[in-house]
């Protein structure tokens, strides 16, 4: 088995662990978790994704191009339109799609494509066309997730602004999603360290 295939298999395991953690947090959150199909505010605005996310998205696009060429073509067309509009202000390498890591570039990224819809979002259905291959940021968004730098207390839990609006701090803490950060970081250590954005991975 080659290294890339091994990483893909390990990533599939990581996705299963993450999705199981999301399902468990969703169960504990009950009605406080407002996420539902067609709710798309979190599908707008650019965010950085890591090499595993990029690998997963590109593989999914390749599979879709073979099985559903019209659907894949529509995603690629949206990505192309997105890139044509926003590439001039992309704070990174426009050929490789890799984000710069300088402080100036990070500050510029804060204002990059903030209102733009993700090209994977179907504008007609309001659903993600690549949901099974979505980045880890998408998989953990919604339930309470602890910032990596926070301590063991209930502080440092971030939630979607549309969720847990009527919840007490105790209810929020009780629904915390336990993200497998260590497993993710161990797998990323086997890959070249770089970050890009979703749209670049979907270009034809």
Q: pLDDT tens-digit profile of 18-72?
A: 999 999 999 999 999 999 999 999 999 999 999 999 999 999 999 999 999 999 9
Tell me the CA distances in angstroms from 139 to 76, 131, 178, 179, one per residue in order.
22, 9, 12, 10
- Name 54's Cβ contacts closer than 8 Å, sequence gap at least 6: 196, 201
Q: Identify any residues that bridge with 81 across adjacent strands, giving them in sequence order.
A: none
Q: Within the chain, how many helices (H) and strands (E) appear?
A: 8, 2
The answer on pLDDT for 3 being more than 60 is yes
* pLDDT average, residue stretch 155-174: 92
Distance CA 26, CA 34 (A): 10
Q: What is the per-residue pLDDT for 152?
A: 46
Closest CA to 10 of 197, 186, 194, 203: 186
How does pLDDT run across 108-159, given as a tens digit for each residue? Answer: 999 999 999 999 999 999 999 999 999 999 999 999 999 765 544 445 899 9
Provide Rg for the chain, Cα atoms: 17
Distance CA 91, CA 42 (A): 21
Q: What is the per-residue pLDDT for 153?
A: 44
The answer on pLDDT for 96 being more than 50 is yes
Distance CA 197, CA 98 (A): 8
Q: Which residue has the higher pLDDT, 47 or 204?
A: 47
The model carries a pTM of 0.92
The token pair that represents 25 in the structure block: 């947090």
Domain boundaries, the chain: 3-201
Residue 92, SS3 per DSSP: strand
Q: What is the per-residue pLDDT for 1?
A: 64
Distance CA 108, CA 105 (A): 5
Which residues in 39-111 belong to E strands, given as ranges? none
């Amino acid at each position: 088995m080659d290294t890339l295939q091994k990483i893909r298999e390990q990533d599939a395991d990581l996705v299963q662990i993450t999705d199981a953690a999301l399902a468990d947090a969703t169960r504990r959150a009950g009605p406080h978790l407002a996420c539902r199909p067609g709710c798309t505010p979190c599908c707008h605005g650019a965010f950085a994704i890591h090499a595993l996310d990029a690998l997963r998205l590109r593989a999914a696009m390749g599979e879709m191009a073979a099985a559903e060429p019209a659907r894949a073509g529509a995603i690629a067309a949206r990505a192309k339109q997105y890139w044509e509009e926003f590439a001039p202000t992309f704070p990174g390498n426009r050929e490789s799609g890799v984000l710069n890591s300088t402080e100036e570039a990070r500050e510029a990224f804060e204002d990059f494509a903030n209102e733009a819809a993700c090209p994977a979002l179907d504008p007609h259905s309001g659903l993600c066309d690549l949901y099974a291959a979505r980045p880890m940021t998408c998989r953990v968004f919604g339930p309470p997730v602890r910032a990596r730098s926070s301590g063991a207390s209930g502080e440092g839990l971030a939630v979607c602004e549309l969720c847990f609006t009527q919840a007490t701090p105790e209810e929020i803490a009780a629904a915390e999603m336990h993200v497998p950060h260590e497993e993710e970081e161990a797998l990323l250590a086997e890959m070249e360290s770089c970050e890009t954005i979703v749209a670049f991975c979907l270009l034809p």
